[in-house]
Amino acid sequence: MFTILPKLASRHDAELIVLPFWMKPKKAEAAASLGTLKDAVMSPIAAKDFKGEKGEKAVVYLSKEKEPRALLLGLGKQEKVCVETLRRSYSEAVKFCQEKGIEKINVVLPDITEMRKVSARETIEGVCEGILLTNYKWEQLVTLDEETVLLKEVTLIGALEKDLAFVKRLESIAEGVYLSRDLTNGNADDVTPQYLASVAKKMEQEFPSIHTTIFDKKRIEKEKLGLLLAVGRGSDHDPAFIIMSHKGAPRSKEHIVIVGKGVTFDTGGLNLKPTGSMETMRDDMSGSSVALSTVTTAAALGLPLNVTAVVPSAENCIDGKSFKPGDVYRCYNGTTVEIGNTDAEGRLLLADALAYAAKNLKPTCMIDVATLTGSIVVALGDDIAGLFCNQDKLANELLHASKRVAETLWRMPLHEAYDSKLKSDIADIKNIGGRPAGSITAALFLQRFVGDIPWAHLDIAGTAFLSKENGYWPKNGVGFGVRLLIDFLSHKKNS
Ligand code: BES
Ligand code: ZN
Ligand code: ZN
């Protein structure tokens, strides 16, 4: 999608030229050289119609023709500009293009010598990510309205040829985010455990470094993944257990395992969810979409490390065969689990997956990603995901990645004393710990199955799926976690 021009040329063949401005105390000031356009674009500034505030926009016609138009784009106060400011401001420019049906634009990069906190690379990162992550619409199932026009060509003005490889990398990562969003947004009736398995299998053809193993229901029974089986019993769709590996460093012993919750629809089971709580539950496989997209992207980028997505996938439905509250089921590692509530199903299939991975995949670290609890939404809302971790080093690596990509994590406590809330009289453990600290007891439940392997749990119940767009996060599936984990992996390989 991107091409590069070092300087603003005198001829412009795009429909729109995006020009950045700072907010200064007296008036907006150009954030880059505007060349011959300088005089033409000054009128909204002179008239004080445009101040250069963060995300502010003004349109200027450069001639009697409609095109090219210039879009003045505010970046806010110069000393405060960071990568996230750039993502959010350039995202606004893309939304303007979507409103107007514009496909081809020239984008002028702000001058880095003017910025304190942002390097040249980071400038490109902020601008390109703001554009890429906003240039997405989920409209596969809309037939009545006209499709939103997406950007097709973007010329970055002020970048160098040598930056092109970096821009391509950002495009690959955005593709991964789109894949995660698409999988989450698709109908639950389409995105079934078998569908997720077929997507993972297909990646083998696309990337030679990827190897996929699928366990069907028979094999899941044979392997005794008893909790995954229990959750899937009430569904017409068989459960699936997916293992998709990218081997980028065959000689290295390091092996990162990403476990993704793959509940393709969560009715709550016999402890049925009420109306109002079930409508978005096709998003309950967001963790699996993140795990599969992250490993796919790691392969696309050729990251020199070994990373495996493990996805236990099932549909939590109601039927005569449904698993029952009060009954006891057995985990892969032999632990017996009393079902206190069939709606606490995510931790069940994740327990099987974590226990299986710990025993068979020789992981040096495990990270699970899951829309696990309503409780984390109450605590952190839909901007921030919960991080639970049994090792400070791993937690800090994830928190640093989180800062860099602006996918905010907040570390929550694995408070030992609450572990006793999971006590059962009739089994080794119960799958609910009561209403208080619900996201913590859910995490403590998972911790029982990871042994002494460094492990992190990301509860993305709030951030995975939005009822309203937020900056470059779209309404519905966000793909939260893909950029975070790719950043985490990219820094791993260097350490
Ligand atoms: N899938 C839900 C959690 C969820 C809630 C995801 C809101 C996205 C948005 C999970 O399976 C669930 O139902 N958890 C219960 C657990 C409870 C029964 C202990 C919850 O959080 O209420
Ligand atoms: Zn549930
Ligand atoms: Zn669920």
Contact 290, 237 (CB under 8 A): no
- Judge whether residue 47 has pLDDT over 90: no
Residue 283 CA: nearest ligand 1 atom is: 8
**Residue 91 CA, ligand 2 centroid: distance in Å:** 34
Catalytic, out of 201, 273, 421, 475: 273
Q: Collapse the DSSP code of 142 into the 3-class scheme (helix H, G, I; strand E, B; otherwise coil) and give the result.
A: coil
8-state DSSP, 47: T
Q: What confidence score (pLDDT) does residue 43 get?
A: 86
Between 120 and 444, the more confident residue is 444
The residue type at 361: L
- Among the residue ranges 132-146, 247-261, 389-403, the one predicted with the least confidence is 132-146
Torsions phi, psi of 425, nearest 5? -85, -20
* Statement: residue 355 has pLDDT above 50: yes
- CA nearest neighbour of 290 among 114, 457, 117, 105: 457
Res. 412: pLDDT tops 70 = yes
Rg (CA), the chain: 24
Q: If you count DSSP H runs as helices and E runs as strands, how many of each does the chain have, helices first?
A: 13, 21
- For the stretch 280-328, pLDDT in tens is 999 999 999 999 999 999 999 999 999 999 999 999 999 999 999 999 9
d(CA 357, CA 360): 5
**What is the atom index within ligand 1 of the atom nearest the CA of 316?**
11
- The per-residue pLDDT for 195 is 98
Cα of 466 from ligand 2 centre, angstroms: 18
Catalytic-labelled residue, pool 347, 404, 448, 492? 347
Selection from 203, 206, 268 nearest residue 234 by Cα: 268
Annotation marks residue 253 as catalytic: no
Look at residue 36 in the predicted model and tell me its pLDDT.
Answer: 82
pLDDT of residue 12: 59
Instruction: Indicate if the pLDDT at residue 35 is higher than 90.
Output: no
Contact 1, 9 (CB under 8 A): no
Q: Which pLDDT does position 363 carry in this prediction?
A: 98
Mean pLDDT of 365-390: 98
Using a 10 angstrom Cβ sphere, with 0-12 exposed, 13-18 middle and 19 or more buried, the burial of residue 147 is: exposed
Name the percent of the chain lying above pLDDT 70: 98
Residues with CB under 6 A from ligand 1: 266, 284, 341, 343-346, 371-375, 377, 432, 438, 461
Which range among 20-29, 37-46, 424-433 shows the weakest confidence by mean pLDDT?
37-46
CB 398 within 8 A of CB 488: yes
> Is 64's pLDDT higher than 90?
no
Ligand 3 centre from 372 Cα, in Å? 6
Which range has the worst mean pLDDT, 25-34, 219-228, 233-242, 436-445?
25-34
Residue 11 has a pLDDT of: 55
Express each pLDDT in 66-108 by its tens digit: 668 899 999 999 889 999 999 999 999 999 999 999 999 999 9
235 within 8 A of 283, measured Cβ to Cβ: no
Please check the confidence at residue 495 and state whether its pLDDT lies above 50: no
Instruction: Extract the tokens encoding 483.
Output: 């950029």
**Residue 321 tokens, joined:** 């065969």
181 is catalytic: no
pLDDT level of residue 63 (50, 70, 90 thresholds): confident
